[in-house]
Every structure is written in C-alpha cells, then in structure tokens.
Amino acid sequence: MAARSVGLLTRLPLCSQRPAQVPRPAFRLLSCPGTVAADVRSEEHLVAKPGSEDKAPKKRFSEVQKERREQAQRTVLIHCPSKISEKKFLKYLSQHGPINNHFFYESFGLYAVVEFCQKDSINSLKNETHTPCLDTEAVIPFKSRFFNLKLKHQSNRISEPLCTQSSSQSPPSSKKLFELLNYAESMDDQLNTLLKAFQLTEENIKLRYLTCSLIEDIAAAYFPSCVVWPFGSSVNSFGKLGCDLDMFLDLDEIEKCDVHKNVGNFLMEFQVKNVPSGRIATQKILSVIGECLDHFGPGCVGVQKILNARCPLVRFSHQASGFQCDLTTNNRIALKSSELLYIYGSLDSRVRALVFSLRFWARAHSLTSSIPGAWITNFSLTVMVIFFLQRRSPPILPTLDSLKSLADAEDRCVIEGSNCTFIQDLNKIKPSGNTETLELLLKEFFEYFGNFSFNKNSINIRQGKEQNKPDSSPLHIQNPFEPSLNISKNVSQSQLQKLVDLARESAWILQQEDRHQPSPSSKRPWGLTTLLIPTAGSKFLPKKKRKKPVSERVKSLLESIKDNSPESSTNTDGKTAMS
Ligand code: CTP
Ligand code: MG
C-alpha cells in the first residue's frame, strides 16, 4: 500500500493534492436528533484533556472490528432524490423492519446510510427492489446492498431543507483551521483542536465498514465465507478524513472455521487447484476479484490491478463513498500492525494528538505525499512518534516486547513464521506516569529527530531503543513483526535530510518565546500554526506579508544567535538540541 495521506473525501487545506480519480464530494452530514449520528456529534464537544484518560473499559481491536462488521452487514446504502421527505423515506423503509439508525450525506448527490435492526430486513428490501430497464443500454443485474431510490409521487418531494440539524463532515478550510488554531488557549489546545477537526467521524467510520461489507458481498460470489477487513489508518486510530481505505480480503477465516468441524476418524478436505506459490495464488485471486469489481461492482470505478507489487493489490475508487480503496489478500501481518497502532493510539490521549499534528506538519512541508516515492510515509512517521514516546522518561508508551510479555495464551499469534503476539486487552496495560505536555513533546520530538544518528542507528519499537543499522538505507525503521524488513526502505538520503532540516527548524521556532505565546486577538500565527506554514509559499499568510521564506529567516536568526550565547535545550539523551 502506497502512502496516500489525502483521499477523496478531504479537502486538505494546507497543501496541494493529487487530482482525485473521483471528484471530491462535499461530504455534508445530515441527520436527525435522536439518531446515533446526532448523538455522536454532540459528544464530539467532549474533548478529552491531554493525559486525562477515559476510565471506561476500552474495547479490543478485534471486538471493534467484529461489532462494526456486523453493523455494516445490517446496513444499506441508498442514493436518494435530492429533495426527499425524511419522514416518508423512513416510513417506507420501516415496512422491511425496524431501523436502528440512519444518516444522510451529500457526495455529488444525496445518499442515505440506513442500519436495520435485523439482517432479514435487507432480504425483504431486496425482494421488493427491481433491476432497472434502460432504453439505450443493457445492465448487469447484480443485486447488491447499494440501491437507487426514485420518487413515484411528487408528494414525497419536499421544498424545505432535509432536516433541521445538519453539520459539515468536511475538514475545515485552511482559513477556518487557522482561526481555530489561533483562538486556542495553548499549544496543547491547538494540537487537540487539530485532532478533533480532522479525525474520522463516527459516520465516516461506518461508511468505511459498509464499503468493505459491500466489497465482501462481491468477493463472496467466489469465496462464500470470506471477510473483507479494513486496516491501516481507517481503523488504527490515526485516520484523517479523506485517508484511503485499505482492505484485506481474508480467505483464511474459511480454514479456521473448518478445522474444528472435522471429528471422528476421517479428515475431509476440499478438492483444490494447486499453483506454484502463495504469491501466484494471491495474484490469481486478486485478478479475478479485480475483474469482478470492474465489471459488476456498483460504484466501483478506475479499477487497477497492481499485481506485481511486493504486496499485490487491486486499487479502485468507490464512487458513492468517495473512498480510494486498496484491496489486498496476503497481508495479515498488516492487519496485526494496525491493531498494534490502535493499541498505542488508545493508551494515552496525547499519542493521537501528536501524530495528527506531525502528519499535518509533514504534509504541509511536502515531506509526505499522496504519490508513492522516495519520501517518508505516514505509517513510518507514526512509528517514529511511537518510538520517541517510548524513549521519554518515564516512557509514555510501552515497547512491543513489554506488550508481548503481558500476553496470555489467547493472545498468541504467529503469522507465516512471524511472532505477532502481544496483549490484546488494552485494559491490562498500566497507564504511563508521564505528565509531559503536548507542547513539550512536540518540541522534544523535533529536537530528538533533528539530532538522531540516522547514519548509524535504526528505529526499533519492539525494544524501544536505537540499534545498529543492518544496512545502508538512509532511514531504517524496523518492521515491528518482520524484523528483517525496513518499513522506510523507500526514503532517499535527500528526503531524510529534508526531514532533519525541517525538524531542526521547527525545534528552533518553538524555542522562540514569542512564537508559541497565544495571540488570539492578533492575526499573527503562533505555536502550531507557525510550524504548519510551508517553507515555500504559505497558504495561511498572504505572500506580500511574508518578508522572507522561513528557512531564510531562520538562517539569519541563527547567525545572530551565534554571536550571542545560545540557550539551546537538550534532548532526552542529553545531546545538544541544535547543532
Ligand atoms: N504497512 C506495513 N508496512 C509498510 C507499509 C504499510 O506494514 N511498509 C501496513 C501498515 O499497517 C499500514 C497499512 O499497511 O497502516 C496501510 O498502509 P498505508 O495506506 O500506506 O498507510 P496508513 O497507515 O493507512 O496511512 P495513510 O493514512 O497514509 O493511508
Ligand atoms: Mg492507508
């Protein structure tokens, strides 16, 4: 999976985007008071303060995945006429069974996501649904859970807005974000504000699971017990509105179920076709599923089969949801690393706030890109943040080895010879005693990696310590579950240097007292906003107001500092922060 920090739903305010294959929809959420959608939005105002952890028991990753998948299986996606009476719409659907919740969103047309209380309701709805007859074209009569609703009577049309409560699901514009960040009370507040504005909403998560479920229905034509699991940033707690949807077609579920069914003296096996290697099997499966999506998948467009990649995949756009999807099938370890990141993101509220801001910072400075290349990926950057938080004193995050030492027998997991065992129950992990602020952590992150010996050392979250680099790649970040692999092998020396330079520059900016003092009354950027100004051409400030590019200003300020006695801070290893 290539790193694509910007998907199809998001207008990324701070940096340029790759042209989307599907036009980016204005993703406006429309819902009714009393529905889950409305409840979730009202809860969004209750932002956890940094370090103040939610005491409610946290769900395991596998529990979340199973619950959401089950919900998605009871859910349908309906393209609706632009003006429709919500009351009549719900009454019409309710004849098939009670509705658990629903929401509307706009994505170049009006769509409804409707979750029934029972799965049977969907069969009832399908039985009443017709395959359209077109005059000029033929149709593929594929009966999915993606419907098109038409009005029989004009009385179902309404002239007033669809519902009284509506809120935008799009991330804020750059102007709005600037205002939000500028009016924050502190830098910690800024980081949490950014997280709140860009994290995946409840509805967006539901739509991601529903999209997987719709793809699963198509794959099930060949593999009836298959499961399509979302993984990556859609589920690892670091997803930003607009991120891609990574999908894992799980065919092993079939094997797991069947093993226990064989009782007695015989062992029954399926007659199967043999192929020379697992990779060829993967390529064949994805090739056929890719064809299916292309020819029969309602709303699946731009299907590309990328079968010669290290991890073969089918890439396509799901038009109705606007998601760019990557479907893989031999990628179970990536699902496990998504679970690991989910655990890290859930252990301490500072983790996600820091990761989001750093992902933003990296994107604003073109350190990351939606196009695969020699630059660092969001995944690698996230692992760097986790490593940094493991290195704090006291550590904010435990090492992977210590998560493994807490594991029970039920947590044991070996995938293709790689030991992926770690504790799955988050509630058994002791919270950190570290109380450092986000402001300090952000500054220290820049200082730590501004001075890291990348030429000598590798980043290893399994042990939470630097290790000698096993090869000459400029940036070496050990894959947590496949130690022989470097997850940042693609990063070139010049891209690494850019990262280091920008980290030093940002550390320096944060050392300037006036740069991180809140200034809500003035329009002057401060704190996090200052760091998000791209070096070449700010989107926040009109160009005429900027005297010099940041790098030049920093250079001249550094020169002036050289003449005075510098008060450079130290990083966690006691090294001088600014060299
Ligand atoms: N992955 C991996 N090794 C890599 C690249 C990716 O194990 N070298 C796994 C990670 O679990 C990652 C997932 O594949 O989370 C999806 O990869 P990608 O889409 O590149 O990253 P995301 O974490 O989803 O981030 P983004 O928001 O940029 O899509
Ligand atoms: Mg992804």
Residue located nearest, by CA, to atom 12 of ligand 1? 232
> How high is the pLDDT of residue 226?
95
Q: Is the pLDDT of residue 535 over 70?
A: no
CA distance 229 to 249: 7
pLDDT tens string 140-190: 888 999 999 998 866 655 555 554 344 455 677 888 888 889 889 999 999
Nearest ligand to the C-alpha of residue 475? Answer: 1
pLDDT tens sequence across 254-276: 455 445 555 688 888 889 999 99
Q: Report the relative pairing of strands 99-106 and 313-318 from DSSP bridges.
A: unpaired
Task: Please report the pLDDT score of residue 172 as a whole number.
Answer: 76
Give per-residue pLDDT as tens, 69-81.
999 999 999 999 9
Residue 3 Cα to ligand 1 middle (Å): 6
Q: Which of these ranges, 84-88, 311-315, 419-423, 560-564, has the smallest mean pLDDT?
A: 560-564
Please say if the pLDDT value at position 191 is more than 80.
yes
Assess whether the C-beta atom of 377 lies below 6 angstroms from ligand 1: yes
Residue 36 has pLDDT above 90, yes or no: no
% residues pLDDT > 90 (the chain): 65
Sorting pLDDT into bands at 50, 70 and 90, what band is 523? confident
Looking at per-residue pLDDT, the higher value among 535 and 406 belongs to: 406
For residues 562-576, give the mean pLDDT: 34
Q: How far is it, in rounded angstroms, from Cα 350 to Cα 441?
A: 9
5-31 pLDDT, tens digit per residue, is: 322 222 233 333 333 344 444 444 444
Determine whether the shortest distance from the Cβ of 487 to ligand 1 is under 6 A.
yes
Tokens of 246: 């990574």
Question: Nearest ligand, CA of residue 238?
Answer: 1
Minimum CA distance residue for ligand 1 atom 6: 1
Span from the CA of 468 to the centroid of ligand 2 (angstroms): 29
**CA 352 to mean position of chain CA atoms:** 11
Question: In the predicted model, what is the mean pLDDT of residues 492-504?
Answer: 97
Q: How confident is the model at residue 68 (pLDDT cuts 50, 70, 90)?
A: very high
The response to whether residue 315 sits with its C-beta less than 6 Å from ligand 1 reads no
Q: Of 313 and 107, which is predicted with more confidence? A: 313
6 neighbors 12 (Cβ within 8 angstroms) = yes
- The verdict on the CB of residue 527 being under 6 Å from ligand 1 is no
Query: What does the pLDDT read at residue 260?
Result: 54
Average pLDDT for 83-89:
88
Query: Which residue, among 347, 297, 295, 285, has the nearest Cα to 325 in the 3D structure?
Result: 297
CA of 490 relative to ligand 1 center, distance in Å? 13
Contacts of range 493-496, beta carbons closer than 8 Å, 24 or more positions apart: 494/374, 495/367, 495/374, 495/375, 495/376, 496/376, 496/454
Express each pLDDT in 95-132 by its tens digit: 999 999 999 998 888 999 999 999 999 999 999 998 88
Cis ω for the linkage preceding 394 (within 30 of 0): yes
Q: DSSP letter string over 162-185?
A: S-S-EEE-SPPPHHHHHHHHHT-S
- Cα of 503 from ligand 1 centre, angstroms: 23
> Which numbered ligand comes closest to the C-alpha of 372?
1
Query: What residue's CA is closest to ligand 1, atom 15?
Result: 232
- Phi/psi at 302 (5° precision): 60, 40
**pLDDT tens digits, 274-288:** 999 999 999 999 999
